[in-house]
Structure 1
Amino acid sequence: MLILEGVAKEYNLKPILEDIHLSLEPGQVYALTAPNGSGKTTLLQMMAGLVRPTRGRVLWDGGPIRTTHRRHFGVLLQQPMLYGDLSASENLAFYARLYGLPQHRQLVQSWLEQVGLGDTAAQRVRSFSKGMKQRLALARCFIHKPDVLLLDEPFDGLDERGRAILTRLFEQRINDGASVFLVTHREDEVRIAARRYTLRFGRVTAC
Structure 2
Amino acid sequence: MISLSSLYYKIGNFELKIPELIFAKGKIYKIKGGNGSGKTTLLRLICGLYRQNSGRIEIFGASNQDENWLYRAGIYLDESFLIDYLTPLEFLNFKGLFYKIKPVVIDKFSNEINESISYKLFSNEKLIRELSQGNKKKVGIYSSFMHDPEILIFDEPFEGLDEKGRFLLIKLLSEKICDRIGIITVHHEVDLKGSIKEGEIVELEMKNGSLSYS
Question: Normalization by structure 2: what TM-score?
Answer: 0.84
Q: Which residue of 1 aligns with 2:18?
A: 19
Deviation at 1:138, TM superposition (A): 1.2
Q: Is the 8 Å Cα contact of residues 30 and 185 (structure 2) preserved in structure 1?
A: yes
Q: Which residue of 1 aligns with 2:70?
A: 70
Q: Which residue of 2 aligns with 1:150?
A: 153
Identity between Structure 1 and Structure 2 (%): 26
The whole-number CA distance in structure 1 between the counterparts of 2:213 and 2:50 is 23
Sort the Cα spacing of 1:9 and 1:134 in 2 relative to 1 into closer, same or farther, 3 A: same
3-state DSSP of counterpart to 1:107: helix
Deviation readout 1:113-147 (Å, 9 max, x if unpaired): 33325464112112212222121111221122111
The whole-number CA distance in structure 2 between the counterparts of 1:141 and 1:108 is 12
The whole-number CA distance in structure 2 between the counterparts of 1:120 and 1:195 is 32
Gaps of 5+ in 1: none
Deviation at 1:173, TM superposition (A): 1.0
Aligned residues: 203
Q: Is the 8 Å Cα contact of residues 153 and 183 (structure 1) preserved in structure 2?
A: yes
Counterparts of 1:15-164 in structure 2, within 5 Å, are 15-65=14-64, 66-79=66-79, 81-98=81-98, 100-102=99-101, 104=103, 106-116=104-114, 118=120, 120-123=122-125, 124-164=127-167
Residue 195 (structure 2) pairs with residue 188 (structure 1): no
Sort the Cα spacing of 1:205 and 1:96 in 2 relative to 1 into closer, same or farther, 3 A: same
Question: Normalization by structure 1: what TM-score?
Answer: 0.87
Q: Which residue of 1 aligns with 2:177?
A: 174
Deviation readout 1:13-36 (Å, 9 max, x if unpaired): x44311342211111111111212
The one-letter amino acid paired with 1:28 is K
The whole-number CA distance in structure 2 between the counterparts of 1:79 and 1:22 is 28
The whole-number CA distance in structure 1 between the counterparts of 2:75 and 2:18 is 22
The whole-number CA distance in structure 1 between the counterparts of 2:73 and 2:121 is 28
The whole-number CA distance in structure 1 between the counterparts of 2:36 and 2:16 is 11
Deviation readout 1:149-206 (Å, 9 max, x if unpaired): 111111122211111211111122113x111111012323364562211111111111
3-state DSSP of counterpart to 1:197: strand
Sort the Cα spacing of 1:89 and 1:76 in 2 relative to 1 into closer, same or farther, 3 A: same
Residue 41 (structure 2) pairs with residue 4 (structure 1): no
Q: Is the 8 Å Cα contact of residues 121 and 135 (structure 2) preserved in structure 1?
A: no
Q: Is the 8 Å Cα contact of residues 80 and 137 (structure 1) preserved in structure 2?
A: no
Q: Is the 8 Å Cα contact of residues 76 and 141 (structure 2) preserved in structure 1?
A: yes
The whole-number CA distance in structure 2 between the counterparts of 1:138 and 1:119 is 12
Deviation at 1:83, TM superposition (A): 2.0
- Which one of 193, 203, 207 corresponds to residue 200 of structure 1? 207
The one-letter amino acid paired with 2:107 is Q
